[in-house]
Amino acid sequence: MHDRRVLFLCTGNYYRSRLAEELFNQRAHQLGLHWHASSCALAIERGSENIGPISEFAIRALSDDEIPIRPFRFPVACTVHDLELADIVIAMKEAEHRPLMKAKFNQWAERVTYWNVHDLDAADFAEINKLIDVLVNDLIQVIQKQQ
């Protein structure tokens, strides 16, 4: 049996989607689920001020949850192929990401589940981390019920 796939999307693939990806993969592995998450950027060009491969806030959240920090890759831009490979596609904030989906991947815009996770310009990192944690746990519970 091959793993099913979740794709998390955000603007720069630097903080929110990366944290969701890592949390999901750690928890799915612990529970023995045949699911794997990846993540991509919808507007990678907007992340020109991002330093390094992943946000320090994502690293801090993972450390706080005692999730092993593995070597991180740099952000990647979303492609149609990424969307085609995913069983579930989740964009981190509807107001921010639905317009990007419509502009770049219009045929996919209505097939995406949209969360409402603010970025650091509108929320404090502790709030963001907690909300992503809760939403990832909810997603895993839905997946477990479907199996």
All structural domains of the chain: 4-146 (3.40.50.2300)
Q: b or e along 99-109 (b: 16 or more beta carbons within 10 Å of the residue's beta carbon)?
A: ebbeeebeebb
Cβ neighbours, 10 Å, residue 53:
15
Predicted TM-score of the model (pTM): 0.94
Question: N- to C-terminal Cα distance for the chain?
Answer: 13
- What are the tens digits of pLDDT across the range 46-80? 887 888 888 989 988 988 888 877 777 899 999 99
- What are the tens digits of pLDDT across the range 93-137? 999 999 999 999 999 999 999 999 998 888 888 999 999 999 999
